[in-house]
Structure 1
C-alpha cells in the first residue's frame, strides 16, 4: 500500500460506525436482527441513527460508513435510507473488533489513501453532542497531522468496574502550526483491564485515568503501519481487501478470508502494543448503555425513583425500571412492593429481573437458545 502523504483535506475525513453487536443484553426487546443499536430506547431515533446524526456536522454524509452483519443489514438500510449502498459494509461473520476496524479502513483506503478516519461504536449515549463534536474535530485534525493514533478517553464520573481504563501522562503541546485545540491531549501510558472496585476507586481519585470508550481516530497509513508491525496477518488481509474494494470484488474475498481470521479486539491487537497512542480528553457526558439498569439513568423518574416507558400503576414500589414495548393491546403494568426491579414487556415475552443482576440477561439468552421452542424469541 502507498507511503505516507501530506495531511488529508477535509473531504478525506471519514467516520466508520461499528454496528454489528448481537441482541443479548436488552432482551426481550433486542433480538438478533434488531440489537441494541437498532432500538429506539431513548427518543424517536435508534442509537444508530443518533450516532450518524452526531457526526454529520463534521464529515460529508457520503463519508459515513456502517459496518454490520448480513442479519442486521436490512434494518440498517431501513433506518438509514440515505446511506449510499456502497457505504454499508457487511461482515460475513463476527471476528471481533480488529477485523471490523481493518475492514472499514480497507474500504476507506480504497477511496483515498490520504484519508483520516474515526471509528465509533453505534450504541453509545452522548447527550452533549456539541462537546463530543469538538473533541472529535480536534482528534481528526491531530490524526491528520502526523503518525499518531488517537483514542477518546472519557473522564470517569464513578469507580465503574465494567470499563477498561487508560492511564494518561502529562498534557501534550499541540503540533507545530496546528490550529488551537479546545481539547486536551495526553500521552497514553497504559491500558488497564476492567478493575475491581477498590482499584477503580484509586483510578478515579488519582485523576490520571480515563475510561476506554472504544473510539479511535487515525489515518489510513498510520493504521496500516501499526497493523504491519503488530498484526502482520491482519495487515496482509487489509491489503487484499483494499485491492478487492477497488475492483468491486470485496464480498467474494471476505467470504474466503473471514473464517480464517483470528478473533481479537483492536485493543489487544494494536492499542495496547503501539507506542504512538494519544488520548483525547473526552470531557462530555457519555454512557455505553450496557444493560437495562443503565437505561434507567436516562429516563425521568417519579418521586420513588421508578422510571417507566409505558403506563405504570404502582403501590409502595421504588427504583424500578418498567419498559413496555408492546405494539398492541397495551395495558397498564401494575407493580406492588417491588424494589430495584426491571420489568420489560414485549408482544411475545416478559423479562423480570433485579437491577443488580442485569448483566446476567446475556446468560438468560443463552439458556433460551438451548430450547428449540424459544429460539424464535432470540
Structure 2
C-alpha cells in the first residue's frame, strides 16, 4: 500500500521578505493560483488518496495546513515540536504511518517543488513502487535530468555508464555529491552520468526504519513507542521524546551509507522553487520583460522583478531592479543582487 509523506517544516529564508518564519514559502502562492503545498498534494492525490497522505510540519504551521488542506484528516498532520532535520522527521512519520498502514511503502516529497508534467511524475512514482515491491530492501530516489550547470542543487552520480535508450531504468547510485561550483557543475552535466538530486524517495516503511536504526540508532529508539501509544497520548509522547533524536539529514545518516540505493532518471519538468531566480524562470513577463506579482503598477521601466503582498506599489521609469513588499517591509535593490536579499534580514 502506497502512502505519501510531504515534508513541510522549512522556513523558506531565501524568499524573505515574502516568505517569513510565520508563513514560509510552502504556504504561499508563488506560481499559479494554488499554494506550493496545495500543488504538491493535488499532484499526488490521483494515485494516493487523502487518507494516505501525511504532512509533517512544525507546531506553528498546523493551522496553515488545516486552512489550506481542509479535507486532510487531522490525524495525518504530524507535528514536530522542533525542527531537527530530515532523519527525525522521516523516522517519526514512518512510525506514525505504521499506526494506520502496516507494511506500507512511502513516497517522501518536499512541499515546495514545481513539476510541470504531473502525469509523467505520477507514472514514475508508480513505477518506483513496483520496483520496491520486488526489491524490499531497496531505496529509490528520483534523479532529474540536468538542463544547465546548476550550482544550487546537489547531484547524484550513477554507478555505471547510463544507457539513455532505456527510459526510467533503476540504476545503482555511486554517491551523492554536494552543491558544486560552476566548473564542477559543467563537468557533471557534460559527463552525462550525474543527475540533480530532487530530494524525493520511495522505500518501504520497514526498510527505512531499519536503515535509520542501523545508522542513527538513538532516533528510532527514542520514538519507537509512537507506533503503539494511545491516540490521545501520541503528541505528548512526541513532544517529550523528539528532543532525544539525532538532528541530522537523511542524506548524511542513511543515503551516504546504505548499500541498496537506486536512482530513476526522471524528466518531468522539475524545479526546486528555492530562489527568486527560479520564480523568473516560470512566471510570465509583460511586454517590457517585467515580472509583476500582486498589487504593483509598473510604468516605463523594464526587466524588473516587482512583488507586493499587502500594499499598492507603483514603480515609474526604473529598470533592472527588484521591489519586494510584504507586511509593510519593502526591499528595493539591483535585480542582479536579488540572490542576496535574505542577508538584508540581519539589518532590519
2:198, 2:145 → 1: CA distance? 10
The alignment's TM-score, normalised by the length of structure 2, stands at 0.93
* 2:64 aligned partner: 75
After TM superposition, the structure 1 = structure 2 runs for residues 1-378 of structure 1, keeping only pairs within 5 Å, are 12-146=1-135, 147-170=137-160, 183-244=168-229, 247-310=231-294, 311-315=296-300, 317-326=301-310, 330=312, 333-339=314-320, 341-368=321-348
Contact 2:218 2:244 in 1 (8 A): no
Q: For residue 115 of structure 2, give the secondary structure of its aligned residue in structure 1.
A: coil
* 1:176 aligned partner: none
Unaligned runs of 5+ in 1: 1-11, 174-180, 369-378
Q: CA deviation at 1:353?
A: 3.3
Contact 1:33 1:75 in 2 (8 A): no
Contact 1:65 1:87 in 2 (8 A): yes
Alignment: residue pair count: 344
1:48-95, Cα deviation, whole Å (9 max, x unpaired): 000000001111210000011111111110000000010011100000
Q: For residue 286 of structure 2, give the secondary structure of its aligned residue in structure 1.
A: coil
Q: For residue 71 of structure 1, give the secondary structure of its aligned residue in structure 2.
A: helix
The alignment's TM-score, normalised by the length of structure 1, stands at 0.86
1:139-167, Cα deviation, whole Å (9 max, x unpaired): 12212322100111111111111111000
Q: CA deviation at 1:349?
A: 1.4
Q: For residue 51 of structure 1, give the secondary structure of its aligned residue in structure 2.
A: helix
**Structure 1 65/350 Cα, relative in aligned 2: closer, same or farther at 3 Å?**
same
Contact 1:154 1:210 in 2 (8 A): yes
Contact 2:161 2:193 in 1 (8 A): no
Q: For residue 152 of structure 1, give the secondary structure of its aligned residue in structure 2.
A: strand
Contact 1:171 1:184 in 2 (8 A): no
Q: CA deviation at 1:303?
A: 4.0
Q: CA deviation at 1:113?
A: 2.6
1:312-338, Cα deviation, whole Å (9 max, x unpaired): 3233x4432111222x6x35x214242
Larger strand share, 1 or 2: 2
2:329, 2:231 → 1: CA distance? 46
Q: For residue 125 of structure 1, give the secondary structure of its aligned residue in structure 2.
A: strand
Aligned structure 1 segments of 4 or more residues deviating by more than 6 angstroms:
none
* 1:371 aligned partner: none
**Structure 1 98/281 Cα, relative in aligned 2: closer, same or farther at 3 Å?**
same
1:268, 1:234 → 2: CA distance? 14
Q: CA deviation at 1:247?
A: 4.9
1:49, 1:212 → 2: CA distance? 22
1:237, 1:133 → 2: CA distance? 34
Q: For residue 30 of structure 2, give the secondary structure of its aligned residue in structure 1.
A: coil
Contact 2:285 2:291 in 1 (8 A): yes
* 1:6 aligned partner: none
RMSD: 2.0
Contact 2:222 2:242 in 1 (8 A): no
Q: For residue 224 of structure 2, give the secondary structure of its aligned residue in structure 1.
A: helix
1:265-286, Cα deviation, whole Å (9 max, x unpaired): 1111111111110101121111
